[in-house]
Amino acid sequence: MSTSIKKKSLPEQPVTVPWVDILQDAEDGLLALSIRVGLQVLQQMMAAEVEQLAGPKGRHDPQRQAVRHGTEVGSVFLGDRKISVPHPRVRAADGSEEIPLDTYHQFQDPTLATQAVLERMLYGLASRQQRHADAAFEAAMEQPGPSKSTVSRRFIQATQQALDRFLQRRLDDRTWVVVMIDGLRVADHLVVGALGIDADGHKRVLGLVEGATENHTVVMALLQDLITRGLTAAQGLLVVIDGAKALAKAVHDVWGDQVLIQRCQIHKQRNVLDHLPKSAENRVRQRLRKAYQEPDADRAAQALEALAKELERDHPGAAGSLREGLAETLTVHRLGLPGLLRQTLANTNAMESINSQFRTHAQNVKHWTNGQQVLRWLASASFFIEDTLTRIPGYREIPVLQTALKATCSKTPEQKTEQIG
């Protein structure tokens, strides 16, 4: 477009649709009516833009900079549908070039379709079903919806864009005080995810990495990615993990003494009970729960050690499982956290809740072709899940956690070992 031609903003004038048209269209239902009315409104908006550029029709203006140039059939996106519509054309008065209509081109944006497909797929509508998802579209436009292959192609494009955006998202826009790490099994793939909790108690999925197991190498790759994108432990960080030794080693290798590890108390209880016969499970479960509900770290440790001694003779495997990493299951106690916040951060339930939502969004996938597909799905789902996340229980006490973490970070490794051990 020539730089000499300037577009004005569209006039604020009412757009009208004759009542007779509305009554005729209403027979197909409210949504079909809305679609037809919307297209008529689009035609009037384009006509108003043409009038701004070329002046009122039928009135010669020797000073005009643009002229009408007929119409042609084009297409716009309506939801996930590509709809054929006629649109007017305008050229510069000297015939040098065509002037694009902003109104028309805004509705040609293909991201409107890819976003609609993405939302439907993530909320459980299979690609083969989307063709008939909105009967009102077919009634209004007298044409079927997109084919299965078109839906799949748009979904792959949308999820790849979401994955790229997810992997590039900066993490230095807020203060993170807690990171939870847990694995999610998707068919033959294991995805290790990290959930962050900021100083205001808000949650966000920070990172995802695909691997065969929750091994040291996979977790190291995840943590290094978080650091590259701006996550810092300079002010102290609490890392909540399940009972896997590989996770604890990777966290220490990456952050050293800047972080404290809290091993999930629920995972610990499951691991201990796995070594027991059914007849002993209920009694030991009650003892474990009572010990972990004790707010004083020393008394909780004493109760757990006493239980381990009782189990030592008849069930040495259970005793060994209980003692392994025992001190790290009581980190939230050692930090002196208030009851509700202590209970929230004593386990990985918040991360497991995210994993449950991941499974719900992906429940209609019958065949996973590769790890990249898994990551595309989960990264896309993360953005939808985050819109529904609430602050953690006990978030008002997070300043207590921050103060305790800063105090611990300022200590020597020997003092820190003494405190946690």
pLDDT tens, position by position, for the chain (421 residues)?
444 455 555 545 555 555 455 445 554 454 455 556 666 667 777 888 888 888 888 777 777 778 888 888 887 766 556 677 788 888 988 878 898 888 777 776 665 545 554 455 455 444 444 444 455 455 444 555 555 565 566 667 777 888 898 999 999 999 999 999 998 888 888 999 999 999 999 999 999 999 867 788 899 999 999 999 999 998 899 999 987 778 889 999 999 888 999 999 999 999 999 999 999 999 999 999 999 999 999 999 999 999 999 999 999 999 999 999 999 999 999 999 999 999 999 999 999 999 988 888 777 677 788 889 889 888 888 888 888 899 999 999 999 999 999 988 666 555 555 554 4
User: Are 220 and 342 part of one and the same domain?
Assistant: yes
In this predicted structure, what is the pLDDT of residue 15?
A: 52
What's the sign of the alpha-carbon dihedral 207, 208, 213, 215?
negative
Find, among 81, 93, 85, the residue nearest to 43 by Cα.
Answer: 85
Cα angle for residues 104, 66, 78 (degrees, 5° grid):
5
User: Are 222 and 316 part of one and the same domain?
Assistant: yes
Residue 152 lies in a domain: no
Cα angle for residues 366, 367, 372 (degrees, 5° grid):
130
User: Are 277 and 141 part of one and the same domain?
Assistant: no
Residue 234 lies in a domain: yes
Residue 306 lies in a domain: yes
Which DSSP letter does residue 388 get? T
Answer for the pair 146, 80: CB distance below 8 angstroms, yes or no.
yes
In this predicted structure, what is the pLDDT of residue 192?
A: 92
For residues 402 and 417, what is the distance between their CA atoms, to the nearest angstrom?
19
Among candidate residues 146, 164, 198, the one where a domain is terminated: 146
Burial (CB < 10 A; 0-12, 13-18, 19+), residue 177, is buried
Residue 166 lies in a domain: no
User: Are 130 and 177 part of one and the same domain?
Assistant: no
Domain, as residue range, for 128: 23-54+65-146
Q: Which residues contact 407 (CB under 8 A, 6 or more apart)?
A: none
Residue 419 has which token pair? 């405190």
Q: Is the pTM of this model over 0.85?
A: no
In this predicted structure, what is the pLDDT of residue 131?
A: 47
Cα angle for residues 12, 16, 22 (degrees, 5° grid):
155
Cα angle for residues 133, 136, 141 (degrees, 5° grid):
110
For residues 59 and 52, what is the distance between their CA atoms, to the nearest angstrom?
13
Among candidate residues 146, 165, 193, the one where a domain is terminated: 146
Q: What is the largest CA-CA distance in the chain?
A: 105
Residue 6 lies in a domain: no
User: Are 188 and 317 part of one and the same domain?
Assistant: yes
According to DSSP, the β-strands at 81-92 and 189-198 are unpaired
Find, among 316, 315, 270, the residue nearest to 289 by Cα.
Answer: 270
According to DSSP, the β-strands at 176-186 and 189-198 are antiparallel
Answer for the pair 375, 210: CB distance below 8 angstroms, yes or no.
yes
User: Are 112 and 205 part of one and the same domain?
Assistant: no
User: Are 365 and 325 part of one and the same domain?
Assistant: yes
**For 58, left (φ over 0), alpha (ψ -120 to 50), or beta?**
left
Task: Write the single-letter amino acid at 307.
Answer: L
Residue 295 lies in a domain: yes
User: Are 205 and 128 part of one and the same domain?
Assistant: no
User: Structurally, how many domains does the chain consist of?
Assistant: 2
Q: What are phi and psi of 247, to 5 degrees?
A: -65, -45
In this predicted structure, what is the pLDDT of residue 241?
A: 94
What residues are paired with 77 via a beta bridge?
Answer: 82
Answer for the pair 262, 239: CB distance below 8 angstroms, yes or no.
yes
Find, among 220, 217, 238, 236, the residue nearest to 228 by Cα.
Answer: 220
User: Are 142 and 178 part of one and the same domain?
Assistant: no
User: Are 33 and 99 part of one and the same domain?
Assistant: yes
User: Are 96 and 219 part of one and the same domain?
Assistant: no
Task: Write the single-letter amino acid at 312.
Answer: E
Find, among 294, 285, 238, the residue nearest to 266 by Cα.
Answer: 285
Find, among 400, 415, 403, 421, the residue nearest to 257 by Cα.
Answer: 415
Residue 403 lies in a domain: yes
User: Are 94 and 198 part of one and the same domain?
Assistant: no
Residue 159 lies in a domain: no
Q: Sheet containing 237-241: which strands, arranged edge to edge?
A: 203-211, 189-198, 176-186, 237-241, 259-263
